[in-house]
Chain A
Amino acid sequence: MPALQIDPRAKMVIALIWTVAMTMVESIATLILGLIPIIIIVYWSKQQQAFARWLRLALLMIAGWVVIAFLTLDWRMAVLIGLRILVLAGIFFVFLRTTSPEDLGGALQQMGVPFSITFLLTSSLQYVGVMEHRIRQIIDAQRARGIPLEPGWHTLRFYPALLVPLLVQSLMAAEHLAAAMEVRGFSRSGRSQLVTYHWRSRDTLAVGVTLLAALLIWFQC
């Protein structure tokens, strides 16, 4: 995933400033303005495909809000609300899409956030694929003996046949994982980092520009 060459911490600060700014504004024009950087970043980091896929999903959810707003308020509010969710969600999409959870965790760790928290960010992702595989195996094993587990309401009452084996195995796996972490010195203090992150002047610049833009928006309103 081609990432923007900006420190994860800077990206986080930028995302937060931007979020606050976009929460404050009340004009449709400004919200559209806030949308432009998102599109630029998407192109710049070559995330068009992922963005298109995500957009389909996000629009479905936004549509629900817009319909509610349109029914109970007026069309202007509906557009405003729809746009605002789109911008807020878009900010986090580009932020997390250009920052791997691992970099985010590493940078937070460097900032002094406890390792036990940043570890969740860096290591959970490794097991998503493992879990998917297990889920498929369980579904296949149950279907092979006649228990239907295709998605949909009609199989809801058979969900324990998927979830119970899954949780039992997960808790056992957690036991193995805990032992492995422990014997590799997880809870030792004075840990160092192989990969470190450096705050450079371009990071300061990027944060400064964002802050300036946010202040401009603030005084406009």
Chain B
Amino acid sequence: MTDSQIEVRRFSYRYPQLGSQWALRNIEAQINAGEYVLLCGASGSGKSTLVRALTGLIPHGYDGVIEGSIVIDGVDTRSRPLAEWLMTVGVVFQSPQWQLFNSTVTRELAFGLESLGCQRQVMRQRIDAVAAQLGIEHLLERNPQQLSAGEQLLVALGTVLVVGARIIVLDEPFANLDGMHVAQVQAILRTLHQQGVTIIVAEHRLGLVAADATRMIVLHEGQIVLDGRPADVLAHDIRRFHLEPPLPTQIGRVLGLDPLPLTVEALLARVDRRQFMEVYQPSVVTLQRGNGSPLLRTHQLTYAIGQRQLLDSIDLQVHAGESVAIVGANGAGKTTLIKHFNGLYRPQHGRVNVLGRDTRTTPVSELARSVGMVFQHPDDQLFCASVRDEVAIGARVMGVFDPARLRDVLQALQLEPLADRSPFALSAGEKRRLTLAAAMMTDPPILVLDEPTTGLDWPARQALAKYICEQIAVGRTMVIVTHDLDFAGTVASRWLVMAGGRLVADGSPLSILSDPARISAANLLLSDRYRLTLALQSSDSASTTMIRQDEVPYAGSAN
């Protein structure tokens, strides 16, 4: 018997519905107390499945076939009932919303302690202590469902800490957080790590965790393909496993730095600007105002629900052939704004004009033909038996169905091989393409996408960016809502920044990002790419260069 805290021994697992396909295959890992593990892999690589296995949900909550074993603190996960695990392993799942089921944060934190049968004073003490530790005292009497995504994540973390778990597993904790909460959660995890808690984070945006982690495990198609210190693992070509290496390591590899820098700061400390410029020919991104007429115009657009002002005097114009990104933190009002573009919401004050028509007097079904809209969750619209029907149904109902168009659209989005499958059986990336196809059926002059990168891994994101750029090239007007600035920078040269229901900036990405006050007001999460660009820019203010996503050269794994 070794003394590692978690021992995964040749563990394989198969979901009952998946036939002979293994979700996890021959997983072999020892994790010691106090390690901080980054568990990464593309979508469908088995991260969440491994999280379930480590927390005992597999085998206790899921049927299916298991081989091998997982031993935690010397006890096999199979021999201890699930309900006994909570003091050993705490877990924060992918969707915080569905793990908070009490009426107040206090009761939420108390739930685990109640399960343990704690005395009331003990509960109060522990709840207060954890609330102070996480800085959520002011939320204790709030309803968890009415908190922001970041606050919900902190509460979910609290429910784990309050019972004193020594192993904490988090499944994509940063998925929906704004800039401030990302930094806050990173800091909390660092502190817990210093206190000796074992931390396992599943995440595919490596840059957020790699610098803090002591170990990085790469999953690919259910198997561990790389395992080691982050800097060592990143020295391999992980693009093969559909993962995007953090930008500083990409550059570090090209420059042949050893050990690889994991953060922008570490990179800049070791490379001077001139050396840097030798490696890159950063292109100058200029603002490309569409030359066409304004297709879409809002005038003093205001919208409130009850006392809450969701949109406050928005004035904007989108010209024909332009590609515009609407960026902003959670709850800034982005979705509320775009729902005005096809008449789903009618302005309470002000006007919205689309292709010369006033949305107050034009029915949604008519606007829907000129404004294609794809919302954040593909699952919100899937209901047909096959992909083909799902793509066609909107056009059929509107009476503009054209079989030739259907063929073209399916082909353009590579959905032909899937056309007869059930839409529910698709992967996240395929579902996204399906909803895009459905919106393209009417060949709308304006295409609006709401958070199109949600749930997509790196290759799927690349494919989406490529498709959007193609559409821009053929002259389609694009409006893309996102809080992912890297993506916004790739697909749009003009940004509209929203914060608290107001439009706080309108201009080229760089002009917006070079104003720190605006960034912090809008609570944006600055990606490595922009932090690097800004750092370079401040050392030479004359140049306005910008590194675009597709321009970082990448050396093969040989060096």
Task: Find the residue from A177, A188, A196 having the highest chain B CB count within 10 A.
Answer: A188
Residue-by-residue, is A179-212 near B (CB-CB < 8 Å gives 1, otherwise 0)? 1111111111011111110000000000000000
A151 in the interface (beta carbon within 8 A): no
Segment from A43-51, A61-69, A77-85, A162-170 that makes contact with B: A162-170
A110 in the interface (beta carbon within 8 A): no
Residue-by-residue, is B81-121 near A (CB-CB < 8 Å gives 1, otherwise 0)? 01111100111011101111111001100111111111110
Taking the closest CB of chain A, its distance from the CB of B542, in whole angstroms, is 46
Segment from B54-62, B220-228, B252-260, B482-490 that makes contact with A: B54-62
Contacts of B495 in A (CB 8 A): none
Among candidates B120, B364, B371, B380, residue contacting A137 with C-beta atoms closer than 8 Å? B380
B383 in the interface (beta carbon within 8 A): yes
Contacts of B230 in A (CB 8 A): none
B125 in the interface (beta carbon within 8 A): no
Residue-by-residue, is B370-393 near A (CB-CB < 8 Å gives 1, otherwise 0)? 011101010111110000000001
Within the assembled complex, what's the spacing in Å between the Cα atoms of A142 and B398? 12
A145 in contact with B86 (CB, 8 Å): no
- Give how many B residues have a beta carbon under 8 Å from the other chain's beta carbons: 71
B249 in the interface (beta carbon within 8 A): no
A142 in contact with B93 (CB, 8 Å): no
Known interface pairs A138-B381, A142-B381, A194-B110. Does A180 touch B368 (Cβ–Cβ under 8 Å)? no
A194 in contact with B82 (CB, 8 Å): no
Known interface pairs A123-B101, A182-B61, A194-B120. Does A148 touch B365 (Cβ–Cβ under 8 Å)? yes
A176 in the interface (beta carbon within 8 A): yes
B61 in contact with A144 (CB, 8 Å): no
Interface size class on chain A is 35 or more
B61 in contact with A178 (CB, 8 Å): yes
B381 in contact with A176 (CB, 8 Å): no
A180 in contact with B99 (CB, 8 Å): yes
Task: Find the residue from B84, B101, B117, B424 having the highest chain A CB count within 10 A.
Answer: B101
Residue-by-residue, is B134-169 near A (CB-CB < 8 Å gives 1, otherwise 0)? 000000000111100000000000010001000000
A164 in contact with B383 (CB, 8 Å): yes
Taking the closest CB of chain A, its distance from the CB of B352, in whole angstroms, is 15
Contacts of A129 in B (CB 8 A): 145-146
Known interface pairs A126-B145, A179-B52, A185-B83. Does A145 touch B439 (Cβ–Cβ under 8 Å)? yes
Contacts of B117 in A (CB 8 A): 188, 190-192
Chain A residues with a Cβ under 8 A of chain B: 100, 102, 122-123, 125-127, 129-130, 134, 137-138, 140-148, 158, 160-161, 164-165, 168-169, 172-173, 176-188, 190-196
**Lowest 8 CB-CB distances: which A-B pairs, in order?**
A185-B115, A180-B99, A145-B394, A164-B383, A176-B98, A146-B398, A194-B110, A144-B373
Q: List 29 A-B contacts (CB under 8 A).
A: A126-B145, A129-B146, A134-B380, A137-B380, A140-B344, A141-B380, A141-B381, A144-B344, A144-B375, A145-B368, A146-B369, A147-B394, A148-B365, A148-B397, A161-B393, A164-B383, A165-B383, A169-B380, A173-B95, A179-B93, A182-B82, A183-B82, A183-B86, A183-B89, A184-B112, A187-B83, A188-B84, A190-B117, A192-B113
Q: Supply 10 further A-B pairs (C-beta < 8 A) apart from A180-B98, A192-B114.
A: A122-B103, A146-B368, A148-B397, A168-B382, A177-B99, A179-B57, A179-B61, A180-B93, A185-B83, A192-B116
